[in-house]
Amino acid sequence: MKLRDLVRETSRSIGERKGRSLVASLGSTLGIATIVAVLGLSWTASNQISVRFDALLASVVYVEPASPLEDARLRNADLASLTEITGVIAAARTSVLGTRDASMRPVDGRVISVTPVVVGGDLTGALDLSVSEGRLWDSATIQPSTPPIAVLGKSVVSQLALPRFAGPFTIWVEGRPVTIIGYVEAGDVDPRVDGWVITPEANFDPSIWSNEGNTGILVRVTPGAGGSVAQQAPIALGPESPSSFVALAPPEPEILRRQVEGDTRLAFLVAAGVALVVGTLAIASAVMTSVVERTEQFGTRRALGAKRSDIVRLVLTESLTLGVLGGGAGCVLGLVVVLAFSAFLAWQPVFDVRLLPLAIGLGGLVGAIAGLLPAVQAGRVDPIRAMRRL
């Protein structure tokens, strides 16, 4: 059978069975669309992961005592020495204390549990918090003799059902008055800030807050400087005994990023593989049904001189054509899904235009594989038996 005749017969066969051809092609379309969508969403998600990692690239180093015996040394360490290290933006000492009971009224008020935190150093620079209402304390004006003051994280404000800040007011912590001078919100460095009641070191009153807690120094650094700052921080804090301190830097972002991106892409590709198998089976089922229905036609062709190979090529060409058509349609559908999903999440869509010819080729491959068994079955049709069924 010549190529021109093969193309004509394929077009006529597909045209005569538009509904069945559409169903068969739909299997390829959905399979390829899933693959294109999965790959596009994988690239888009990986790009979003990269953006997030770049934004938080090794920006914080945490220094803690090497042992409980060194806790006092850390509490008295000079934070100014850290700011001389290249790459350090700001540093603050934080002591997260045990929970305390707080209320708006000293006797019959609603009581909630709060986490008090004593902070010394550059509060806003190190913790990246923002003042939503009121103000922060001024290190030049706060003295040990000043009445106890604090600022509240937004979660504490919500739990106490506090109104908008109109000026300093008093809350009661373990039955003792504390003046609140503002509300704060957490930034990207430490989301726990929203649940804290923060008081300054210079104004610390152990009878209210207690001394039990974990003390550490949070050092905010320029992106990528975490490793070098972590090596120098213990020496800057205690040149005579740097082993008294342990500096913890975040994991290398490039390695972690590749791991997360690899895991994401692998999960997506597994789902795409499953969809491709389903699409292949759908085409194979539709083509096999078509072969069974056309047994008499194939028998007649054989009786008129057609070879087995002619029948096999005809069925394979039909299946291949359906796969190619489905691949093209699937690529377009997958691209629409990627654009819609990205727009919904406000992500930057990432799509490789080389997927279009790749999807069409993959669709053709799927069609050829799906049509292989039905084609062989059609080539085995016995013309004598087929003619008897007419």
Sorted by sequence, the CB contacts under 8 Å of residue 362 that are 6+ apart come out as: 32, 35, 276, 327
User: Whose CA is closest to 68, among 246, 189, 292, 298?
Assistant: 246
The residue with greater pLDDT, 178 or 358, is: 178
Q: Which residues of 298-318 are buried (b: 16+ CB within 10 A; e: fewer)?
A: bbbbbeeebeeebbbbbbbbb
Q: How far is CA 25 from the centre of its chain?
A: 34
pLDDT digit string, tens, across residues 312-360:
888 888 888 888 888 888 888 888 888 887 888 777 787 778 878 888 8
188/124 Cα distance (integer angstroms): 12
What stretches of the chain show up as alpha helix (H) in DSSP? 3-16, 18-55, 71-75, 123-127, 154-159, 206-209, 226-237, 253-293, 295-303, 308-345, 355-379, 383-388
DSSP-assigned letter for residue 306: -
pLDDT for 307: 79
Across all residues in the chain, what is the average pLDDT? 80
The residue with greater pLDDT, 194 or 315, is: 194
Q: Would you give the end-to-end CA distance of the chain in angstroms?
A: 24
Residue type, 323: G
Tokens representing 246 are 């342990």
Helix 18-55 and helix 3-16, axial crossing angle in degrees, nearest 10: 90
pLDDT for 167: 92
pLDDT digit string, tens, across residues 236-277:
998 888 888 999 876 555 555 565 556 556 666 676 677 777
